[in-house]
Chain A
Amino acid sequence: MAAPELLSDEGYRADGRRPAELRKVRARMGVFAQADGSAYIEQGNTKALAVVYGPHEMRGSRSKALPDRALVNCQYSMATFSTGERRRRPHGDRQAGELALHLKQTFEAAILTHLYPRSQIDIYVQILQADGGNYCACVNAATLAVMDAGIPMRDYVCACSAGLAEDTPLADRSPEEAAGGPRLVLALLPASGQIALLQLSARLHQERLEAALEAAGQACRALHAVLDRVVRDRLREVTALLGD
Chain B
Amino acid sequence: MAPPARYCVPGERLCSAEEATAGSGTYTRHGFIFSSLAGCLEKRSEDSGLPVVSVVRDAESQLLPDVGAVVTCKVCSINSRFAKVHILYVGSTPLKSTFRGTIRREDIRATEKDKVEVYKSFRPGDIVLAKVISLGDAQSNYLLSTAENELGVVVARSEAGVQMVPISWCEMQCPRTHTKDFRKVARVQPQFLQT
Contact = CB atoms under 8 A, between A and B. Distances in A.
B99 A57 contact: yes
B36 to A, nearest CB: 4
Chain B binding surface, main DSSP class: loop
Contacts, number: 95
Given A62-B139, A112-B36, A154-B36, A244 B9 contact: no
A244 B136 contact: no
Given A63-B138, A118-B135, A150 B57 contact: yes
Interface residues of A, number: 38
| Of B10, B13, B40, B61, most A-chain CB atoms within 10 Å | B10
Interface of A: 36, 54-57, 62-63, 65, 67, 112, 116-119, 147-156, 189-192, 228, 231-232, 234-236, 238-239, 242, 244
Given A57-B100, A235-B39, A156 B10 contact: yes
Interface of B: 2, 5, 7, 9-13, 25, 27, 29, 34, 36-40, 57-62, 64, 96-100, 135-141
B12 A242 contact: no
Q: Taking each of A54, A118, A189, which has the highest tally of chain B beta carbons within 10 Å of its own beta carbon?
A: A118
A228 B138 CA distance: 39
A147 B10 contact: yes
B5 A152 contact: no
Contacts of B40: 235, 239
Contacts of B97: 56-57
